Structure 1
Amino acid sequence: MNDTLSTIETNKALVKTLYEDCINGRDLDRLETLIAPDFLGARGERGPREFRATIEAVLTGFPGVRFELHDLIGEADRVAARWTFRAVHGGRFVGIKPSLAEVTQEGNVIYQIRGGKIVRAWLQADRLGVLQQIGAVPRTFAEASGQRPI
């Protein structure tokens, strides 16, 4: 295997470890070994401490959350991950009290990796769908306006 393919496979393994061991396995202390000090996240979070705070907020709001990885695609210094998140909204999340609603979210993230650590992440996920599923915002215009569907 040439060096480029080896690096891509190593980078994919790093992202897989992030989801399977750190998030699903709740080994958040291991994040320090995966996230670079100069990491920049999708919402502006910086470094491993702020990355961890984001993960902890999800784990607090959705204590049993599991991420199912569907795809890991690597090229050069990037790894794209496509996942589904399933959980019950059993804790406070972004100031919203637990609804006990079952939640499913799909997302896509592109990670940039340098020197064996994640330095950047770009995330596209259905945040509105999650807020609708936990009852924080109406699911439809009719629901929002108090109208009954025809």
Structure 2
Amino acid sequence: MTPAELVEGLYEDCLNKRRLDRLGDYLTPDFIGANGESGPEGFRRTIERMITAFPDLRFEIEDLFAADNKVCLRWRFRAAQLGPLAGVAPTGKMVVQEGIAIYHAGDGKLARAWLQVDRLGVLQQIGAATP
């Protein structure tokens, strides 16, 4: 798979379809995530926390482009906060979040990720922070 196909598969096959057992098909064993996660299992724990907070979470890929072994992705999700998030009890409020991620591929899989999201905006949307 090309690096772009790896990223698209990661989001569509693993994250949106909740096939987290397939993360090893897309991530290297020594993958380093945007929050310092290590390997597919570290990434899985991060995604599981998001799914717990937002059970109807589904990433919509808005832009995806690649150059050599790097891929840039712009995504959006809209989901209800039905589980705890950052110490905040479920509110049932709908949240919209956009993010930009850059992935580096190596050895035929994704090896590194960087992520920019508006975490403060999400906390404001659930009432945990004031605008």
For Structure 1 versus Structure 2, the TM-score category normalised by the shorter chain is over 0.9
Report the 3-state secondary structure (helix = DSSP H, G, I; strand = E; otherwise coil) of the residue aligned with 2:50.
helix
Give 1 or 2: higher helix fraction: 1
Structure 2 match to 1:146: none
1:54 and 2:54 aligned = no
1:59 alignment partner AA:
I
1:133 partner amino acid: Q
Match for residue 138 of structure 1? 130
The amino acid that maps onto 2:6 is L
Q: How many residue pairs are counted as aligned between the two chains?
A: 131
Letter in 2 for 1:35: L
Q: Secondary structure at the match of 1:83?
A: strand
Question: Using CA pairs below 8 Å that are at least 6 residues apart, which structure has the higher relative contact order?
Answer: 2
Q: Is residue 110 of structure 1 aligned with residue 95 of structure 2? A: no
Name the aligned partner's letter for residue 53 of structure 2. Answer: G
Structure 1 stretches lacking a partner, 5+ long? 1-6, 140-150
Q: Deviations over 1:62-100 (max 9, x none)?
A: 000111001111001100000001100011122221010
Q: In the aligned structure 2, how far is the partner of 1:55 from the partner of 1:114?
A: 22
State the partner residue of 1:4: none
Unaligned runs of 5+ in 2: none
Match of 1:19 in 2: 11
- Which of these two proteins has the greater Rg computed from alpha carbons? 1
Counterpart of 2:35?
A: 43
CA distance in 1, matches of 2:40, 2:88: 25
Q: Which range moved further: 25-34 or 90-99?
A: 90-99
